[in-house]
Chain A
């Protein structure tokens, strides 16, 4: 039996559970479903920057969802870290603060560092380091983001208006790219590129008011609690710390 990739099509999982082996369709695995939900949420947050000020309630709810997914992925150890061979650059890949994604142009105009809000869950601060030999982030990676921070905020042009949010995001990523060619790729590695075609996304989201193709994800009714200890808890501490630095006001 094989499992087909999820991409952007979902299958109706409910019927298949009862199906025979012969007639079985592929059901996206829970991890794939969860990943897809995470990707969808991140894109939603990016798209929140429109002509009118984004709906704060919606943004907060989406950000909380992203945080939840990240927490769970951290707990079951599926949270992907960057390649340790890369030049110790911050693993900014996944844990991009919603602040970065969702900064209002006001903050940009004022050149302030006040973020919208961060996805970070301070709960991570409580977790203590695990086996240090398994940690991937190093002291050097902590240093680099400090340099990065100043550079990133400087790059942003306070005069940019809201329509250029995407450009700002690109500027941030440009910076990352200058430091480490791998980071940007990691950022987008598992995301379907068509998400970043704004027109596609907007058309898909705005006009599609019937049921989406999401049926397979509907079986997502409960989160499984895998008991595996995370090897990445200390990594997360570092990451948390790194992003705190990045977004600190």
Chain B
């Protein structure tokens, strides 16, 4: 089975915006992959004039929130310029028992890469890298922040449109709807460094398809 990958547009976010941005994106993606009977929920973002949709499953909400918190903690410890979160959907396959005790295999069929450029609180006017706090007029700083917020909102909307387009364009790889399954199982990972993210994911995919479950769990 093909594992489709979607790399979303990079977003420049401040640390306090990470939570809302990630919730919006992750829930939107998971909602599109919650093909069981759901009762969606509309959630209005507080920082942006955007309404996103949750599938309404508490487990999903909790899982996503936990992962976001872990990511934020990780970001604080590793203030890299760019970070990436990988949302992967998989199917659980059981194989014949072999000398591997673990017979459960995850077959990834879709991966989403959310690219964030986390701006540090003492951001420069460009906001692209970590700089010492510049002396700026409060008015200018607020204007800059406001404009940056507006741009981020537009970018976030573009990301959501991107998700919709991807979901629409590629449907064949989606597993069939199984009775009793509300949402497709997924996992959220954030690699330690952005440089090796894609490579690691590729390796994981290859290993998955190669059938070495113990290395990929």
A binds B: no
* A interface with B by C-beta (< 8 Å): none
